[in-house]
Structure 1
Amino acid sequence: MWFKNLYLYRLPKQWAVDPAALEEQLARLTLQGCSATDPRSIGWVAPRDGGALIHSVNQQWLLSLGVEEKLLPASIVKRFASDKAKAIEETEGRRIGRKEMREIQEEMTLELLPRAFVRRRSTFAWIDRGNGWLVVDSASPAKAEEFLEHLRKSVDGVPAKSLKVIQSPSAAMTDWVAGGEAPTGFTLDQDLELRSAEKATVRYVKHSLEGEEIRQHIEAGKVVTRLAMTWNDRISFVLDDNLQIKRLAFLDILKEQADGQADNEDERFDIDFTLMSGEVAQLLDDLLAAFGGEAAAAV
């Protein structure tokens, strides 16, 4: 279980929640699957097949939100509705108005939904109560918010808030690149995005950050909005100005620690999750320090 993208939310370390009570609340809104006429269904699923809704290892909790969606493209509905409208016009000798056409499209949607393919996806999240983190594995802000919204709907009084730091992430990353020096524990890699106040954007991929050209962009007023980094030669990632971590990659030296330690898939899953959560917790501590700490009033 290795996360690839991190959306970060803060939880009070004193948040008093019993895992059994939390699971009981999640169980009220589990994924039921799409019925014949439902275009979409959402709910909690077990992170491991046949397991509990909260997968707990060493007080680290793993949750999974399942979503089923019917694949029914609007173009298909429009084509079937157009054919039906044409048949009505030929049979009854009259034109179909806009209102009636909308009604025909709605009818065709209901008729076609039972035959549509169903796509299922899952969004995972990790709760670290000891360090006060809720971390959603998603590259999409919409899916991260979808997870948080369903969690708040399922569990009374979830105190999750967006992470806020003292120093502006964009200003800090710009300083690091301009000075050619990463904060303690980190190295700067070779992917970079710069943006001006007018939204003009320059991107560098697998490009040295030491050239004069990049410093000239910064002197002209562009700021860093995305920066590739590596932490302690163990985890590489791309950080953006919203504190979202993307393209998280656990380097070989870390994954090698898990090799040969498990006798079966369940043990391997737990070992991977333990390593991932432990390493990411340390990474986040160092990242907070690099930005001068956490802002007092998180929103």
Structure 2
Amino acid sequence: MLTIAKRPSLGLIWVIANKELKDSLRNRWVLVVFAIFWVLALSMTFAGSAVSGTLALPSLSSVIASLTTVSVFIIPLAAILLSHDAFVGEEEAGTLCLLLTYPVSKSQILVGKLLAHCTVTFAAITSSYGSSAAILMLFGRGEAWEEILSAFVLLIASSCLLATIFILISYLVSLKSAEKARAVGSLLGLWFALVLIYDLLLLALLVADLGYGSQWLVNLLILLNPTDLYRAINLVSAGAPLGSLGLLAQYEWSLPLLLGACVAWPLLLLFWTRRVFITKLV
């Protein structure tokens, strides 16, 4: 039960965030998210070289490439798991209507929920990927600790941005869905389209265009997909093989441009989500 007296704006936001954190702990989603990221980080660090027939700590670029490749699937799913019912779940239970009877604005509710869900995902990402960085610094192949720190700071920061993007996408779908099951189905379909289908279409477009006339279009489409931005940021910065994103190397996307586009995504989504929530009749 919420206890909201005459509090300043930040105090109200913290009350909402604290409620969301308690709800997440009660539903065990926090433990699930932490377990996912720790298993991912440790398995990629210790077993990442198993495909080559050896069991040794891989190089920094290999670890970053492995973590990036798997994280682009796991981070959006974890964000969806944590926040898919942020609004539609409370609307079904009737608690959203009750919450709106308190002297708290919809913007404060939105920011409070976002703060709570970001706190959970950021803590899971930072602790798990930070442990991988520490292992490489202590037992790695001799890379400078500054290089390892720089690569993992960028990996953690971009991972947090990607998680924030999909949390906000989950909010949007949750606000526009009439029931929880429909929200989950829509989000899983969107995840499948952005993470898998989108890349296949890009690759098909690149291969079909033998004259390279649509290279500008392919690069623009990469900027319009947060999962491709995430891959590009970390693989380009680590000097790892780009795979299907090898076209990025040809056009020399600058890291600041990629980061700027990645930062713009959550800002635009936050504005859009706030607008939808404010105009929504509950």
Normalising by structure 2, report the TM-score.
Answer: 0.27
Greater helix fraction, Structure 1 or Structure 2: 2
Computing the radius of gyration from Cα coordinates, the structure with the larger value is 1
Structure with bigger RCO (C-alpha 8 Å, 6+ apart)? 2
